[in-house]
């Protein structure tokens, strides 16, 4: 396809890509109360539902991770009828399970000066001053209750010999407030929530629908009232109705194809809600984690994270000379190595924040000084094929000489084993190779203080919403947010909404339902009928390459414009040339993937538009045009101190930007410095 009508050649100015909308405000937080009383105040002002009436009301919960599973269990315990959906074969498999590090809580068990305020402060600072103060404060407030709840459920947190809970310092903060269960904290917290959920399934308050994937939300008479799902075993398109719909469907890192997300993690539920009127908040905020195992070949299906704690003792370097890159690292003498983080950031060295460590690794590899297997890449700007090595060394030689191999084994043994298993190399003998990978998306559906989206009756929790983290995320805070939303926020705010329920019953005969069902069926049918020549994965991979190149660690105006054009071309080709084998009935994993990729392609475009619109560098979003004289990220608080909430404007229409101004009344805006 090299005709002159290609989208990539038609685009000119960024501003032509979107429309300006009205400012919005989060109206539910009681802003007149002092920040430490706000949640108390909201809980008191929230309407209640009489226990006898609760069983007359139903709730749809999509997702069974920390937010969805904990929320479904808690709402079930209160006596509501919960219908809970997940695409996996069991609710216990939600991707929260893969989180390694830990969960923060302002318990101050270490007597090291931690407090709710300090956790709040660290969260807002970690989010590079793009998080909402109100939500971040509430998160810090309920964090302590989360630990209590999890311990009562039997989550086996690490303990000291005295029997009390152990804590560690995590993610560069100065206090030890992270609770952990070896390197499997996410797994243990999720199993806790899953057990509580299964208890409610036994009690009959929660009905579980595994292997059911949401395809659309039904908005009837101004309220979210149901969902259209695809039964993944039979292929049937089914509808479910309730008084309120909650999406707890996780992040959209898989828009990059390669990420640390699970294979099935997808944006479809959130994206379909967006198309039905829910605003999408800050889509371009992506967290890229510096210590992942590098890509080994073009067959690679996912990336694996290794705990950031490795940077405490490992030294990161690349060869000074390009010609050394193919050599055995042990043959490269000390004077020919470039410990670039220690060179550029003498104060913080290898412990600079995630985004800086990631970006510098990319620069080194772009210069041609990367290490590891040489892989062919298409330079997406010139279209040329280039050979690059995508990896930098993480070297433990020094610490092994200083403390001995035994000490390193005790501290990092399981991580070294994991590395050895995946790469087939012995990290005790040769330095590890690492490279950044997409790990978490701070953006998501825009929600207010109650976690309600811009569609009445449609709520969104956990990583799927945009609310608490800002432009970046503090380590060990994702688990905290998921559980805070699930255990403590929704059980207050959902009943407040339901106080007006039960609403008029609806069924498939409602025009809104008919329209949604028809749309899903038509989309599915159309995909199956294309029978083109390219596989779904090849489109997904190409989308990933575009996103990673132009909307990854460094974003530029020309790059993003190029990306938007390429994404539009890709979308057009997808709808003409995708090859989906099999049929609509029965299990069809190719069709499942195609339905997800369709939405990833559209999301990718919005992410690029958001990145283009935000002409500043903040948190995980680095615009090359906005940097200080010495090349560091430069925020523009005077112009961009707001949340970007995007409204979809129908087929092929331009998205509309609504700004939610951010006010910092309790924290002073500061600039990060790590030099």
Please say which residue, 534 or 615, places its beta carbon nearer to another protein.
534
Angle, vertex CA 105, rays to CA 101 and CA 108, nearest 5: 115
**What is the x/- site pattern for another protein, positions 135-174, by CB under 8 A?**
----------x-xxxxxxxx-xxxxxxxxxx---------
Stretch that binds another protein, among 4-12, 201-209, 469-477, 497-505 (CB under 8 A): 201-209
Please say which residue, 264 or 559, places its beta carbon nearer to another protein.
264
**What is the x/- site pattern for another protein, positions 608-637, by CB under 8 A?**
------------------------------
Q: Distance from first CA to last CA of the chain, Å, rounded?
A: 47
Asked if 427 and 461 touch (Cβ cutoff 8 Å), the reply is no
Task: Using alpha carbons, select from 375, 356, 390, 366 the residue that is nearest to residue 288.
Answer: 356
Please say which residue, 99 or 447, places its beta carbon nearer to another protein.
99
Please say which residue, 459 or 487, places its beta carbon nearer to another protein.
487
* Min dist. Cβ of residue 262 to another protein (A): 4
Phi, psi (rounded to 5 degrees) for 546: -60, -50
Asked if 284 and 611 touch (Cβ cutoff 8 Å), the reply is yes
Rounded to whole angstroms, the Cα distance separating 544 from 597 reads 10
Residues 490-519 that bind another protein (CB under 8 A): 491
Please say which residue, 424 or 511, places its beta carbon nearer to another protein.
424
Asked if 274 and 529 touch (Cβ cutoff 8 Å), the reply is no
Please say which residue, 147 or 242, places its beta carbon nearer to another protein.
147
Across 179-213, b (16+ Cβ under 10 Å) vs e yields: bbbebbbbbbbbbbbbebbbebbeeebbbbbbbbb
Phi, psi (rounded to 5 degrees) for 506: -130, 160
Residue of 581, 628, 639, 673 interacting with another protein (CB under 8 A) = 581
Count other C-beta atoms under 10 Å from residue 260's C-beta: 23
- Cα dihedral value 155, 465, 13, 21, nearest 10: -160
Residues 8-47 that bind another protein (CB under 8 A): none
Please say which residue, 8 or 304, places its beta carbon nearer to another protein.
304
Residue of 15, 20, 23, 89 interacting with another protein (CB under 8 A) = 89
* Min dist. Cβ of residue 487 to another protein (A): 5
Residue of 66, 175, 262, 284 interacting with another protein (CB under 8 A) = 262
Count other C-beta atoms under 10 Å from residue 168's C-beta: 15
Residue of 590, 615, 627, 674 interacting with another protein (CB under 8 A) = 590
Strand segments, DSSP code E, in 202-273 are 206-209, 212-220, 223-231, 237-241, 244-247
Element (H, E) at 43: helix 38-45
Phi, psi (rounded to 5 degrees) for 163: 95, -5
Asked if 435 and 295 touch (Cβ cutoff 8 Å), the reply is yes
**What is the x/- site pattern for another protein, positions 517-536, by CB under 8 A?**
------------------x-
Please say which residue, 302 or 636, places its beta carbon nearer to another protein.
302
Please say which residue, 52 or 202, places its beta carbon nearer to another protein.
202
Please say which residue, 388 or 636, places its beta carbon nearer to another protein.
388
Strand segments, DSSP code E, in 272-369 are 280-281, 286-292, 315-319, 337-338
Rounded to whole angstroms, the Cα distance separating 203 from 618 reads 47
Count other C-beta atoms under 10 Å from residue 426's C-beta: 11
* Min dist. Cβ of residue 144 to another protein (A): 8
Residues 170-199 that bind another protein (CB under 8 A): 181-182, 184, 187-188, 191, 194-196, 198-199
Residue with tokens 């893969």: 98
| Cα separations in angstroms, 68 against 92, 274, 282 | 11, 19, 22
Residue of 233, 236, 407, 663 interacting with another protein (CB under 8 A) = 233
Residues 350-379 that bind another protein (CB under 8 A): none
Task: Using alpha carbons, select from 591, 607, 604 the residue that is nearest to residue 87.
Answer: 591
Q: Does 98 bind another protein (CB under 8 A)?
A: yes
* Min dist. Cβ of residue 2 to another protein (A): 24
Residues 469-488 that bind another protein (CB under 8 A): 487-488
Residue of 41, 53, 169, 579 interacting with another protein (CB under 8 A) = 579
- By the 10 Å C-beta count (0-12 exposed, 13-18 middle, 19+ buried), 248 is classed as buried
Rounded to whole angstroms, the Cα distance separating 578 from 620 reads 33
- Among 118, 315, 337, 354, the active-site one is 354
**What is the x/- site pattern for another protein, positions 536-575, by CB under 8 A?**
-xx-------------------------------------
* Min dist. Cβ of residue 643 to another protein (A): 29
Please say which residue, 43 or 615, places its beta carbon nearer to another protein.
43
Stretch that binds another protein, among 36-44, 130-138, 259-267, 375-383 (CB under 8 A): 259-267
Residues 273-332 that bind another protein (CB under 8 A): 296-297, 299-302, 304-305
Q: Does 204 bind another protein (CB under 8 A)?
A: no
* Min dist. Cβ of residue 535 to another protein (A): 5
Rounded to whole angstroms, the Cα distance separating 343 from 576 reads 51
Residues 238-257 that bind another protein (CB under 8 A): none
Residues 406-465 that bind another protein (CB under 8 A): 421-424
Rounded to whole angstroms, the Cα distance separating 601 from 640 reads 26
* Min dist. Cβ of residue 147 to another protein (A): 5
* Min dist. Cβ of residue 109 to another protein (A): 7
Contacts 24+ apart (CB under 8 A), 9-15: 9/565, 10/565, 11/561, 11/564, 11/565, 12/561, 14/557, 14/560, 14/561, 14/612, 14/613
- By the 10 Å C-beta count (0-12 exposed, 13-18 middle, 19+ buried), 12 is classed as exposed
Q: Does 577 bind another protein (CB under 8 A)?
A: no
Element (H, E) at 375: strand 374-378
| Structure tokens, 442 | 């701070």
**What is the x/- site pattern for another protein, positions 99-118, by CB under 8 A?**
--------x-x---------
* Min dist. Cβ of residue 534 to another protein (A): 9
Q: Does 73 bind another protein (CB under 8 A)?
A: yes
Residues 115-134 that bind another protein (CB under 8 A): none
* Min dist. Cβ of residue 589 to another protein (A): 5
Rounded to whole angstroms, the Cα distance separating 101 from 308 reads 8
Please say which residue, 371 or 609, places its beta carbon nearer to another protein.
371
Please say which residue, 91 or 443, places its beta carbon nearer to another protein.
91
Asked if 460 and 247 touch (Cβ cutoff 8 Å), the reply is yes
Asked if 43 and 169 touch (Cβ cutoff 8 Å), the reply is no
* Min dist. Cβ of residue 564 to another protein (A): 28
| Cα separations in angstroms, 228 against 276, 412, 515 | 13, 46, 11
* Min dist. Cβ of residue 478 to another protein (A): 15
Residue of 28, 42, 54, 95 interacting with another protein (CB under 8 A) = 95
Count residues binding another protein (CB under 8 A): 79
* Residue 177 is a catalytic residue: no
> Known catalytic residues?
354
């Amino acid at each position: 396809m090299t005709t002159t009508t290609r989208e990539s050649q038609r685009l000119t100015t960024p501003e032509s890509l979107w429309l300006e909308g009205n400012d919005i405000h989060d109206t539910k937080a009681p802003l007149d109360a002092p920040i430490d009383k706000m949640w108390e105040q909201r809980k008191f002002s929230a309407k209640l539902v009489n226990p006898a009436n609760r069983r007359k009301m139903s709730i749809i919960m999509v997702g069974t991770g920390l937010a969805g599973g904990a929320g479904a269990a808690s709402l079930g315990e209160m006596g509501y009828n919960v219908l809970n959906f997940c695409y996996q074969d069991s609710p216990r498999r939600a991707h929260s399970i893969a989180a390694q590090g830990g969960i923060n809580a302002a318990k101050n068990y270490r007597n090291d000066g931690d407090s709710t305020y300090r956790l709040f402060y660290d969260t807002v600072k970690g989010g590079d001053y793009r998080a909402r103060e109100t939500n971040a404060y509430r998160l810090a407030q309920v964090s302590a209750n989360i630990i209590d709840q999890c311990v009562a459920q039997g989550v086996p947190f690490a303990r000291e010999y005295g029997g009390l809970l152990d804590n560690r310092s995590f993610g560069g903060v100065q206090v030890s407030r992270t609770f952990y269960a070896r390197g499997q904290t996410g797994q243990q917290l999720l199993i806790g929530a899953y057990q509580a959920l299964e208890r409610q399934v036994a009690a009959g308050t929660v009905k579980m629908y595994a292997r059911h994937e949401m395809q659309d939300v039904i908005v009837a008479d101004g309220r979210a009232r149901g969902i259209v799902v695809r039964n993944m075993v039979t292929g049937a398109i089914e509808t479910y109705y309730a008084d309120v719909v909650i999406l707890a469907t996780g992040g959209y890192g898989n828009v990059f194809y390669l990420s640390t997300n699970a294979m099935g993690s997808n944006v479809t539920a959130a994206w379909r809600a967006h198309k039905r009127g829910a605003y999408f908040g800050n889509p371009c905020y992506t967290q890229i984690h510096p210590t992942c195992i590098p890509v080994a070949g073009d067959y690679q299906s996912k990336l694996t994270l290794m705990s950031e704690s490795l940077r405490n003792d490992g030294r990161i370097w690349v060869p000074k000379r390009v010609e050394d890159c193919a050599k055995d690292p042990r043959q490269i003498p000390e004077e020919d190595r470039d410990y670039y983080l220690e060179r550029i950031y003498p104060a913080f060295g290898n412990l600079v924040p995630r985004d800086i460590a990631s970006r510098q690794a990319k620069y080194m590899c772009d210069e041609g000084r990367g290490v590891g297997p040489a892989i062919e890449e298409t330079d997406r700007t010139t279209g040329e094929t280039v050979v690059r090595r995508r990896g930098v060394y993480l070297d433990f030689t020094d610490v092994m000489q200083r403390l001995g191999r035994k000490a390193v084994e005790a501290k990092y043994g399981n991580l070294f084993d994991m590395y050895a298993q995946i790469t087939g190399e012995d990290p005790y003998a040769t330095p590890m190779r690492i490279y950044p990978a997409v790990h978490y998306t701070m953006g998501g559906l825009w929600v207010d203080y109650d976690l309600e989206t811009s569609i009445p009756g449609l709520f969104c929790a956990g990583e799927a919403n945009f609310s608490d983290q800002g432009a970046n995320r503090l380590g060990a805070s994702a688990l905290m947010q998921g559980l805070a939303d699930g255990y403590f926020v929704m059980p207050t705010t959902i009943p407040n909404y339901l106080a007006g329920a039960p609403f008029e019953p609806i069924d498939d005969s409602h025009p809104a339902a008919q329209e949604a069902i028809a749309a899903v069926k038509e989309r599915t049918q159309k995909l199956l009928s294309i029978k083109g020549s390219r596989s779904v994965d090849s489109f997904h991979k190409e989308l990933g390459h575009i996103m990673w190149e132009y909307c990854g660690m460094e974003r530029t105006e020309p790059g993003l414009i190029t990306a938007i054009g390429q994404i539009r071309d890709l979308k057009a080709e997808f709808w003409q040339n995708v090859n989906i084998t099999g049929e609509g009935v029965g299990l069809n994993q190719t069709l499942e993937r195609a339905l997800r990729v369709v939405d990833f392609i559209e999301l990718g475009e919005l992410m690029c538009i958001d990145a283009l619109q935000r002409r500043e560098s903040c948190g995980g979003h680095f615009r090359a045009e906005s940097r200080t004289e010495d090349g560091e990220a430069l925020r523009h608080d005077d112009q961009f101190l707001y949340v970007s909430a995007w409204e979809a404007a129908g087929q092929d229409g331009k998205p509309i930007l609504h700004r939610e101004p951010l006010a910092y009344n309790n924290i002073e805006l500061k600039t990060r410095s790590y030099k």
